[in-house]
Amino acid sequence: MQVVHTGADWNKYWLESIKSDKSIGFVPTMGALHEGHLDLVRKAQAESEIVVVSIFVNPTQFNNKEDFNNYPSTIDEDLDKLKNENVDFVFIPSTDSVYIEQPKLSINFGDLEMVLEGAFRPGHFNGVGIVVSKLFNIIKPHKAFFGQKDLQQTGIIRRLVKDLSMDVQLEIVPTRREEDGLAMSSRNVRLSAEEREQALILIDSLTKAKEELLTGKAWFEVQNQIKCDFEEMPLASLEYFELIHPESFASYREFDASQKSSICVAAYLGKIRLIDNLPIIP
């Protein structure tokens, strides 16, 4: 496993891969790797001849400085995990090498960034779009792998790739969950024991809402009940709980079993913000 730190260093290996006509699979991460990340790596291994994983905590996608400063860093453990998965290359750039100067460019994703994560984290998707564009331009992968847990982010990246005619195929990998159902997240390690226990309300509320919608209950009733359920959790604070189209991310006022739909949730457990989603009609 080779660890590279600059685009110039990677370019040498990229030229070799092009000469040998080998396909490149890319898994961009911010580190603090868990089994969800490794699922992406395994998918990349199965579909690519060379696998590159990046570890870079991107400052421009954090609208909360405290969240950025407290984002977990486990670089030695991450490298051990990736070595065990037989990853070919790990790209670990410095912030200065990615952002030689503060970007003047901004990316507006229109309707996609006006709802859900975009509404509650202004500037977040601009930062995501810029760093993903940079990483794609540096690594030049044939395929890139992302997790379904960050559903809206996958929509943003799909639009980025489509609108800018990027020559990369996106692969979305299902959410990996803990045994009790909590979606795996690098932020989970920051939860106290009590917060971790109450965090199950995210998957519990998604599952409950799906069951009730499929038995014919009205969406506004379901949504109001979930809000009441969160109010009974002293450490949990609901930010949003929405029924949406999983591609346009437009919110539904009513459930229609003939239309694609997913439920998205975001909530704070203490100071830790978690998100999750569940398809209702794929």
Q: Which residues are annotated as a binding site?
A: 30-37, 61, 147-150, 153, 184-187
Q: What is the pLDDT of residues 239-279, one digit of tens each?
A: 999 999 999 999 999 999 999 999 999 999 999 999 999 99
Higher pLDDT, 2 or 18: 2
- Band of the pLDDT at 57, cuts 50, 70, 90? very high
Full 3-state SS string of 48-117: CCEEEEEECCCHHHCCCHHHHHCCCCCHHHHHHHHHHCCCCEEECCCHHHHCCCCCCCCCCCHHHHCCCH
pLDDT over 70 percentage in the chain: 100
Q: Which domains does the chain have, with CATH numbers?
A: 2-173 (3.40.50.620), 186-275 (3.30.1300.10)
**Mode of pairing for the β-strands spanning 272-281 and 261-269:** antiparallel
Residues belonging to the binding site for (R)-pantoate are: 61, 153
pLDDT band at 17 (very low <50, low <70, confident <90, very high): confident
Catalytic positions are: 37
Instruction: Band the pLDDT of 156: cuts 50, 70, 90.
Output: very high
Are 52 and 27 a contacting pair, CB within 8 Å? yes
Q: Residues annotated in the binding site for beta-alanine, as ranges? A: 61
Mean pLDDT of the chain: 96
Residue 18 pLDDT grade (very low, low, confident, very high; cuts 50, 70, 90):
confident
pLDDT over threshold 90, residue 37: yes
